[in-house]
Chains A and B, each alone.
Chain A
């Protein structure tokens, strides 16, 4: 008797935290298959690789966002930091700085911005929403102090990276940016699942007060995730600069919301403590695939992407509710 109920429990409880990720994966496969049936030349490996190529910067930004959301926070500044990173790169390169020095400097600035916001959030106990909203305005405003115009990038290192394709055998190839994004994902997944920092992220998001009373370094963890997010945003900005070969203060407007959407579609709880990085990857892929399908459709304008993403978010949050309904409701 007990062994049977035990088995049943096992079947019910273990996959529960994986269900949202599995749903997203299923959704992705369904979209891909539908696209393949509907359009010629769709069901190829290169289509998926193109999604990676076109969304490498979003993927990197969403990785940072995943860390923040897992602690129960939010980072609204990422889009502006991406724009700031492109502007800084473009203007410094124009002034004749060496490419690698520019990259390092941009990454450091992104990390420091994140660190500062994290410190303010933790030590002054201000809501992350407000602090990062301020950070968002600040970074966006700094873009315009550099220039209000778009600055083209003609630095040979940057243009090389933009034009290089890494051959994967067959007819498949990806851009260096996509490779960088995948490397970031792998490192981040390892950090989240196999290190103490990762554990502290989940514990802080699950219950900050409990984490404090367990002696976990909550302060360090919270500051670390915003630093990671700032760093990822700056890296995303560099990838965006490779992609667009320009710096512009109006680029990546609203990207913070795309990143949040990707994380949520990937099954991470906005309240923190539960979710997986692979879910975020799938979330970005789903968003990218919607764009691809709409471009294949041809007759639809690009703003249909937004409508689909909006509907998808709704459907997805409803699905999460339905599948995990039992666990949310308490039976005392």
Chain B
């Protein structure tokens, strides 16, 4: 009986021109939860792809020993047969099929080619009990939430008699409650003897659940920490990830706050999909020039819905309420209206709603302000190029040139392109929805610097974020939203995570 269920040693994986992994070692003990941390691009996902056979043996150097046997996986089927199952960040479920069908997809409970539906549904039901999901196995997957879909993925893994379960960012799309449930489930699986490897950006979760953590940086193994033996803190992990101690995760700033810039009053929005449901309920907010204001709320509190409905009514129906810009009432009926009145909104889902991924940097930056870059419908390409170059410099967008395709940039650089685009429209009010989601630690700092600079220039910035430490570190004032209602307004000095969390959950009983 080896102590280690998995030992990967000397793993090197190169892509044309890039070395993604360089001599990486990973040792996972039997029956533990092992976290892998690292910035985006550190090589976490590549390592897991090597392990699960997505990159077959021969395409990498190094050795994988699983359960005492040297493994040379030729594909995912091989690794699954050995008992290694990977659950990717983007769930791989077929939305129109039932839970049971999904669980046994490719592995059908059949007798001589005829599917035994009774057995399929019965066994699926047993698996659902194990993962604590109270749904009928015949329910269509698209009818259940993301959190429950994640559980279906785990049930699917269990159906394959998994020994080593790999989860890539399992809680990235989940709300706190679902996350907590998932983490409990992982603890339960550990007690049943299933070893878990979890890749996560949420360091508090890593601290809470992992028995040991391996840190990768730039394709190298930096260290493996034993959570019980070493006293591991978030800052300890972060310093390993970025290679320097992070005394201050937020750049310093002296706020210079001016008069009122933007105000919304009694803002009410109804859901477009569920008639009669108020998503935002009589919300009032006010931003001053040079001020960074936070908007905190749990998933489903209506933060994005509030922002988008204000921004040219891009969300919701039966919107009512008043918007004041610099003390004067304005109507923002369309996105063009909003841009004209100096309001910008950077979306939380930049890949889907914020960028044209197959287009280059300069055309993405100019997209919202073509009017200013063209005369009588003709675009001044020289000016466009010049402006893009300028932003590439001032925002520190790391790309070979402004002709690079945006889809190939890292999350941090994509976000800088999004911010450049909106800054070009010369807004007075910027609403930034999850500006650092999916961005690695180093780039987050850069985004914070940019946000501070915007405030310094006298712009009013509203930051929506799920990460309370981020709001506490960045904002002068924080509003809390719960079930569409503003439940509190806390100045920086009085703000603590506990107080915000109390306000964010107020009235939810």
- Interface positions of A (Cβ within 8 A of B): 5-6, 8-10, 12-14, 16-17, 194-200, 202-203, 206-207, 209-217, 269, 273-274, 327, 331-332
Contact = CB atoms under 8 A, between A and B. Distances in A.
B374 A196 contact: yes
Interface string B57-100: 00000000000000000000000000000000100000000000
Going nearest first, the 7 A-B pairs with the smallest beta carbon separation are A206-B356, A215-B335, A9-B400, A214-B368, A215-B336, A196-B370, A6-B400
B404 interface: yes
Contacts of B405: 13, 16-17, 327
Contact of B352 (A16, A210, A214, A217): A210
Contact of B355 (A10, A200, A210, A274): A210
B408 A214 contact: no
Contact of B345 (A12, A199, A213): A213
A158 B365 CA distance: 49
A172 B335 CA distance: 54
A16 B401 CA distance: 14
A209 B353 contact: yes
A274 B360 CA distance: 11
A6 B356 CA distance: 23
Contact of B377 (A13, A197, A213): A197
Nearest to A12: B17
Contacts of A196: 370-371, 374, 377-379
Nearest to B368: A214
Nearest to B346: A213
Given A8-B17, A209-B353, A210-B355, A194 B381 contact: yes
Interface string B398-420: 00110111011000000000000
A199 B408 contact: no
7 contacts: A195-B379, A197-B377, A207-B352, A207-B356, A211-B367, A214-B421, A331-B15
Contacts of A216: 367-368, 370
B142 interface: no
Contact of B358 (A10, A199, A206): A206
Given A8-B17, A215-B312, A332-B45, A203 B377 contact: no
A188 to B, nearest CB: 14
B234 interface: no
A41 to B, nearest CB: 44
A274 B404 CA distance: 14
Interface residues of B, number: 42
Choose among A5, A10, A213, A214 the residue with the greatest number of B CB atoms under 10 Å from its CB.
A214
A10 B339 CA distance: 34
B17 A213 contact: no
Given A6-B400, A13-B408, A274-B358, A199 B353 contact: no
Given A194-B379, A194-B381, A9 B404 contact: yes
Nearest to B406: A206
Nearest to A332: B45
B466 interface: no
Contacts of A14: 401, 403
Contact of A212 (B314, B358, B378): B314
B374 to A, nearest CB: 5
A215 B357 contact: no
A13 B400 contact: yes
Given A5-B17, A13-B404, A215 B355 contact: no
B408 A206 contact: no
Given A13-B400, A214-B367, A215-B368, A332 B89 contact: yes
Given A213-B314, A214-B367, A273 B356 contact: yes
B195 interface: no
B401 to A, nearest CB: 6
B378 A194 contact: yes
Given A16-B405, A215-B334, A199 B357 contact: no
The B interface is mostly helix, strand or loop, or mixed, namely: mixed
A2 B356 CA distance: 27
Contacts, number: 99
A17 B357 CA distance: 13
Nearest to B425: A215
A195 B356 contact: no
A269 B355 CA distance: 18
B359 interface: yes
A206 B172 CA distance: 26
A11 to B, nearest CB: 9
Contacts of A327: 405, 407-408
Contacts of A195: 374, 377-379
A301 B176 CA distance: 69
Given A8-B17, A195-B378, A196-B374, A202 B354 contact: no
Choose among A6, A199, A213 the residue with the greatest number of B CB atoms under 10 Å from its CB.
A213
B40 to A, nearest CB: 9
Nearest to B338: A215
A292 to B, nearest CB: 35
B34 interface: no
B379 A213 contact: no
A199 B355 CA distance: 14
Contacts of A217: 336
Contacts of B371: 196
A269 B357 CA distance: 14
Nearest to A8: B17
B352 A199 contact: no
A200 B334 CA distance: 17
A201 to B, nearest CB: 11
A304 B410 CA distance: 48
A38 B179 CA distance: 70
Contact of B400 (A10, A209, A210, A214): A10
Contact of B353 (A17, A194, A213): A213
A267 to B, nearest CB: 13
A93 to B, nearest CB: 36
A8 B400 CA distance: 9
B353 A210 contact: yes
Interface in B283-319: 311-312, 314
A258 B15 CA distance: 40
Given A196-B371, A216-B367, A207 B377 contact: no
Given A203-B356, A274-B358, 20 more contacts: A13-B404, A14-B401, A16-B405, A195-B379, A196-B370, A196-B378, A199-B363, A199-B367, A199-B379, A200-B370, A203-B367, A206-B357, A207-B352, A207-B353, A213-B347, A214-B335, A215-B312, A215-B335, A215-B338, A327-B407
B352 A209 contact: yes
A210 B405 CA distance: 16
A17 B312 CA distance: 34
Contacts of A331: 15, 46
Interface in B323-365: 334-336, 338-339, 345, 347, 352-359, 363
B335 A212 contact: yes
A144 to B, nearest CB: 41
Nearest to B88: A332
A276 to B, nearest CB: 14
Nearest to B40: A332
Contacts of B407: 327
Nearest to B363: A199
A213 B354 contact: yes
